Amino acid sequence: MLDQPDDIHPLFYGAPQSTEFRKLRKRLVRHTREAIEQYGMIEPGTKWLVCMSGGKDSYTLLAILYELKWRGLLPVELIACNLDQGQPNFPATVLPAFLEKMGVPHRIEYQDTYSIVMDKIPAGRTFCALCSRLRRGHLYRIAREEGCSAVVLGHHRDDILETFFMNLFHGGRLATMPPKLLNEEGDVFVYRPLAHVAEADCEKFSNAMNYPIIPCDLCGSQDGLQRQQVKAILDGWEANSPGRRQVMFRALMNARPSHLLDPKLFDFAALTRNT
């Protein structure tokens, strides 16, 4: 790792010098690079819209992407973007001040989706689906306006696993967040470079770097969300059998259509015996 102030991006100024942190940083870089290469995210000369919520995951995403770019391993332009959704008491100055201090090109967009969500969703129902849909529409628009080929999100391995089990338990389908997705219009990619990264590593990294974390009061105000319930189940499995999350994640990368039940993926009717 490069550790002298003149040799690193400002996002890494003040990084701990401990062996533990160096290993963590190296692991984050390796896992992110693996996902970017494995899922074919790089188009040299393009521009990425890196979405910043102010949470631990988005700070980790931004820093690691700049680490890869600093090493010459990510030949794309980066622009950070925060969508201020009009949540009450949202600290609107925190991210702009941080990004300016770090010398990161950025765009701050205000769109009051909070009022729409509160108006449309009945009391006691979850906000996430509508909130996400409204946010994604604005991000696609901003990406087009900024000339970006991709919207880049900070979802990590645990988000992907939780989404899989939410679909399994509540949606009746085997599906999750893919690391690479093309939007319906076919003009903007959605990338998740942290797909192989554990949530715990994002938390350790952002805490060690003392980034100014902004909580999501909209989602966090609701107890008993399906995702929280699934997270609790996965936490229990992990506690009883350490490493279980990684085993399950590997299973998502090792699907066997012939050993499932979907005739659209495998032509069971065409199977014949050797006679």
Strand pairing class (77-84; 150-152) = unpaired
214 within domain boundaries: yes
pLDDT of res. 217 = 58
Cα 191 to Cα 11, 36, 40, 109: the distances in Å are: 21, 9, 10, 20
Q: Which domain holds residue 185?
A: 5-221
Let me know if 159 is exposed, middle or buried by CB neighbors in 10 A (0-12, 13-18, 19+): buried
pLDDT of res. 126 = 67
Number of domains in the chain: 1
d(CA 180, CA 190): 6
- The residue ranges of DSSP E strands in the chain, in sequence order, are 47-51, 77-84, 106-110, 150-152, 180-182, 189-191
pLDDT of res. 216 = 66
66 within domain boundaries: yes
CB 153 within 8 A of CB 178: no
187 within domain boundaries: yes
CB 84 within 8 A of CB 90: yes
Looking at the chain, how many residues does it have?
275
pTM over 0.85: yes
Tokens of 258: 């012939």
Question: 98-154: per-residue pLDDT in tens?
Answer: 999 999 999 999 888 777 777 767 766 666 777 778 888 889 999 999 999 999 999
pLDDT of res. 2 = 41
241 within domain boundaries: no
d(CA 109, CA 80): 11
76 within domain boundaries: yes
pLDDT of res. 219 = 53
216 within domain boundaries: yes
Which residues of the chain carry a pLDDT beneath 50? 1-6, 220-224
pLDDT of res. 224 = 45
pLDDT of res. 235 = 95
CATH of the domain at 191: 3.40.50.620
pLDDT of res. 196 = 98
Give the strand order in the sheet containing 189-191: 106-110, 77-84, 47-51, 150-152, 189-191, 180-182
pLDDT of res. 134 = 82
235 within domain boundaries: no
231 within domain boundaries: no
CB 129 within 8 A of CB 249: no
pLDDT of res. 218 = 52
